[in-house]
Structure 1
């Protein structure tokens, strides 16, 4: 009767990052509009590689860059932020949100 039952360890929930939510909003809107990453980057005045990193949540764009990308998508920064916030709210309905990395 000395059997030990081991339960799998629970992995701590990974908090979503603001830059990932913003990048996801930008990518989704670009794809919904049928735009290529190179065309959007050119209109926003940034390198396609940088835009790709923003979309993948690897880079946190400055307010100026975010404004340029949002404008190139015919959105406001407030619209991008609102959509990102909604994404985070859905993803973290049971936990905290990490807004800075």
Structure 2
């Protein structure tokens, strides 16, 4: 399952790169340090809703579009998730009873 801060960072980076903008361009527009913005994009820091709003303004992208893309990525991951814990076969309780009986 993806981590929310990683997905938000990836979507923000993708939006920035698509526009051909640098971290410096966005950090200046969002009034956040370049280092902090870089950490947000790499999923090392979790952006507050206020910071996310500022970054979206600097990117000129609605926050709803960013969150929708993040949501779509989560949906894709959920659909690909395989049941990693298969159900226990019905014979296990019987086998446990045999072990105890010995």
Please indicate, yes or no, whether the TM-score normalized by the shorter chain is above 0.5: yes
Residue of structure 1 in register with 2:68 after alignment:
82
Matches within 5 A, 1:5-84: 15-84=1-70
Unaligned stretches of 5+ in structure 2?
Answer: 83-102
- Does the residue aligned with 2:28 lie in a helix, a strand or coil? helix
Task: Report which structure shows greater RCO (CA 8 Å, sep ≥6).
Answer: 1
Runs of 4+ in 1 over 2 A off after TM superposition: none
Q: What TM-score do the two structures reach when normalised by structure 2?
A: 0.75
Give the superposed CA RMSD.
1.4
- Number of aligned residues: 82
Unaligned stretches of 5+ in structure 1?
Answer: 1-14, 97-101
- Higher helix proportion: 2
Q: What TM-score do the two structures reach when normalised by structure 1?
A: 0.76
- Does the residue aligned with 2:5 lie in a helix, a strand or coil? helix
